[in-house]
Structure 1
Amino acid sequence: MKKLVETLFILLIVCSCETVFDIEASEKEIPVVYGVLNITEPKQYIRVQRAFLSKGGNVSDLSKDPNILYYSGGRAILTVTSTGRTILGKRINTEDIGIIRDSGFFAESPNILYEFDTKDWLVTPPAKVIFTFENESLLKGVSAQISLVKDLQLREGVPSAPLNLGYDRIITIGWNHSTETKLFDLIMRINYMEKSNKTNGVFLDKSVDWVLKDQLEVGSDPAKGSFSFKGIEFFKFLGSTLPNSSDIQRNMKSVDILLTAGGSEFKEILNLNQANFGLTGSNSIPRYNNITNGIGFLSSRMKVSRTDISLSSVTLDSLKFGVFTKALQFK
């Protein structure tokens, strides 16, 4: 499982599992559900598809058939447990809104997802929701209950601005979070301007992401988190990442702190993988599943950021003249 900070971190876990689902089960239909909910977004998307083929069929060919892959109808519902309010999912082809499915083992077009209108979550986010799916071809309804990640905040002044990244300084980034949160990814986005002959001497805005820590687990305090690093690591990262050339001139602008938090389901997958990839782990990796009467993955995430953090004069001087970055032509 890779970085939470990108949607890929979340969906690749599930998409990679797609290829191990037994889609050639003996005359048995298996509902497959996956999605990641985010209370800061006005719409949620959940994929529901099926694994149902007669034994002996050509798996590769039949998996490309959307009539087999997707249910033709049914009801997908999100229920807020505290109030009983239900949100009916709308079956859509996301190609119509610019979301294209990556090429791979399954049919790429149409790209069918269920869309849920959750604008009110922006004001009053629920603590728990239940997802259910019913279809006339299913003997039992499919369901999953999850807690939603919320109340994620980067603490003001941790770190302080302008940010002093002196070589020997210890920089700490702190945040508050709800108890539903179990895993974090932390990134520093470094914003700068760059010009060269290729840009005809015109400065262009650029940025590079420095992954400070991924798969960071909750510490001893269940509602507060932090991560510390030495200032020198900032310069080492830039020196090993940006190309150096006498033709290039750069100006540093600012940095952003990006924090992404994931729910308990991500932590459980991480634990499962760690247990089985250890020295004594088995070759057979158990499949994570939190879907009742089906298989798949449903969880929650949330992202917060502090942007446009200025850098101290000490930091800017070290960029210009320091041993790790002087060849990068920061002015």
Structure 2
Amino acid sequence: MQIRFLFILLAFMAGFSSCSNEFELIEEKIETPIVYSLLDYEAPYQYVRLERAFASPNQSAVELAKNPDSLYYKNAIVNLILKRGGVDQTFTLEEVDGNDVGYPRQDGVFAKEPNKLYRINSALLNLVPGDKVKLEVNIGEGNPVTAETTIITKPTSSFPRSGSPVAFSPTQGDNFKWNHVGNFPGSIFNLRAVIHYTEVSAGEATQKSLVWDIAKNVSKENFLASPGEFYSYLGSSLAKSTSTTRFFDGLDYFIYCGDENLSEFLTIGQANTGITGSGELPVYSNLSRGLGIFGSKAQLSLLGLGLAPNTINELKINKLTKDLNFQ
């Protein structure tokens, strides 16, 4: 008899693909711990999601998923052990409701309340790139669930460059480049830009933004975009208008980095890395038992970048953007 087998994954970074949250196993009476955590040395808090995969021959998967008692472990203890200078320091995380700390669960088959997470203030850990951290989860039965990771560093960007206007070519591929400082680089990268602009129509000004996902799951420290991709993106994302005038306000650029554990997890193609999201059962797991991932992530943010004068002018004359009425 087939048993529905469901779980939800916590995650980091914006922009990775979301998958189905329902799948089937053959075995009955299986209970498996599911752990997900990506440490970020610049984040204000470090989070761990702990749940369990569950099965029942007598209840439907949907009914089980709506029951918090089936989804969460009671009295679990989640520790982070910082290994630095030959000394191990153990920190116990507090249990919180994600709904109360800015991480509500998305609508779906799973119980939305409570939304249990475990967290610790990053100031207590004071993580730096190169730190080795061990996760230890005690669920009250069996050996603890353990895993280890090394904290990675965020990169520096050479295109776009901080403080310099960005010039996008209309005819050649823009080569987004970055590099790392130190010995603990990321292994997989997502690139995103948020384009801010103002629309003026009938004398009323409205500030708006577009999210441009430039590249996903890049494994090297550069990405060559298609020729004129910036103009192509704007041309396909905004409606042509003669009555609306648009003004470019600024561009925010982000590089999201993951370690080798996350790279392997995503390469398999069964990952879901949003804190509020859900995903398929991963084949890859670096936990001592159970399923999930314990890894490290980092983020570079370049905020308020301007466009070079030739790019502003190109927006007015390029065949892909001239009817958008940028001034």
TM-score (norm 2): 0.81
Partner-residue secondary structure (3-state), 1:106: coil
Specify which of 27, 32, 35 is matched with residue 33 of structure 1. Answer: 35
Structure 2 counterpart of 1:92, one-letter code: V
TM-superposed deviation, 1:181: 1.3
2:248 paired residue among 249, 252, 256: 252
- Give the drift of 1:95: 2.1
Which AA in structure 1 matches 2:285?
N
**Please, which runs of 5 or more residues in structure 2 have no aligned partner?**
1-10, 271-280
Cα distance change on mapping 1:308 and 1:54 into 2, 3 Å: closer
Return 5+ residue gaps in structure 1 as ranges. Answer: 219-224, 275-284
1:9 alignment counterpart: 16
Query: SS at the partner of 2:204?
Result: coil
The one-letter code of the counterpart of 1:247 is S
Say which structure, 1 or 2, has more relative contact order (CA 8 Å, 6+ apart): 2
Count residues with an aligned counterpart.
303
Q: 1:118 aligns with which of 118, 122, 145?
A: 122
| Aligned with residue 58 of structure 1, among 41, 56, 60 | 60
> Pairwise mapping of residues 1-331 of structure 1 onto structure 2 (< 5 A)?
6-7=13-14, 9=16, 12=18, 16=20, 19-20=22-23, 26-82=28-84, 83-120=87-124, 124-125=128-129, 127-136=131-140, 138-155=141-158, 158=161, 161-168=164-171, 171-177=174-180, 178-197=183-202, 201-218=203-220, 225-229=221-225, 232-273=228-269, 287-331=283-327
The whole-number CA distance in structure 2 between the counterparts of 1:119 and 1:21 is: 42
When structure 1 is superposed on structure 2, of 149-158 and 307-316 the one drifting more is 149-158
**How has the CA–CA distance of structure 1 residues 21 and 154 changed in structure 2, closer, same or farther, with 3 Å as cutoff?**
farther
CA drift of 1:159 comes to 8.1
Asked if the contact 2:128–2:151 (Cα under 8 Å) also holds between the matched residues in 1, the reply is: no
Could you tell me which residue of structure 2 aligns to residue 282 of structure 1?
A: none
Q: How far is 1:267 from its partner?
A: 1.9
- What SS class does the counterpart of residue 113 from structure 1 fall into? strand
Query: Counterparts of 1:5 and 1:241 in 2: how far apart (Å)?
Result: 26
- SS of equivalent residue, structure 2 residue 247: strand
Q: 1:5 to 1:41 in 2, by over 3 A?
A: closer
SS at match of 1:173: strand
- Counterparts of 2:24 and 2:38, CA distance in 1: 19
**The residue matched to 1:235 in structure 2 has which SS?**
helix
The verdict on how the C-alpha distance between 1:328 and 1:214 changes in structure 2, with shifts beyond 3 A counting, is same
Question: 3-state DSSP class of the match of 2:294?
Answer: strand
Higher helix content, 1 or 2: 1
- Over aligned residues, Cα RMSD in angstroms? 2.9
Match of 2:4 in 1: none
Classify 1:131/1:325 alpha carbon distance in 2 versus 1 (closer, same or farther; 3 Å): same
* SS class of match (1:85): strand
Q: Determine helix, strand or coil for the equivalent of 2:264.
A: helix
Kindly indicate whether the alpha-carbon contact (under 8 Å) linking 1:5 and 1:303 is maintained by their aligned counterparts in 2. Answer: no
> Distance between the aligned counterparts of 2:24 and 2:33, measured in 1?
10
Q: Is the 8 A contact 1:148 1:180 kept in 2?
A: no
How far apart, in 2, do the equivalents of 1:156 and 1:171 lie?
9
How far 1:107 sits from its partner (Å)? 1.6
The 8 Å contact of residues 78 and 86 in structure 1, kept in 2 or not, is answered as yes
CA separation of 1:295 and 1:123: change in aligned 2, threshold 3 A:
closer
Task: Calculate percent identity across the aligned residue pairs.
Answer: 27
> Structure 1 residues 189 and 73 mapped into 2: Cα distance closer, same or farther (>3 Å)?
same
CA contact (8 A) 1:188 1:255 kept: yes
String of CA shifts for 1:24-72, please: whole Å, max 9, x gaps: 9544432111122221112111111223455433332122211222111
Distance 1:93 1:165, change over 3 A: closer
What amino acid sits opposite 1:288 in the alignment?
Answer: Y
1:221 equivalent in structure 2:
none
Q: CA deviation at 1:235?
A: 1.5
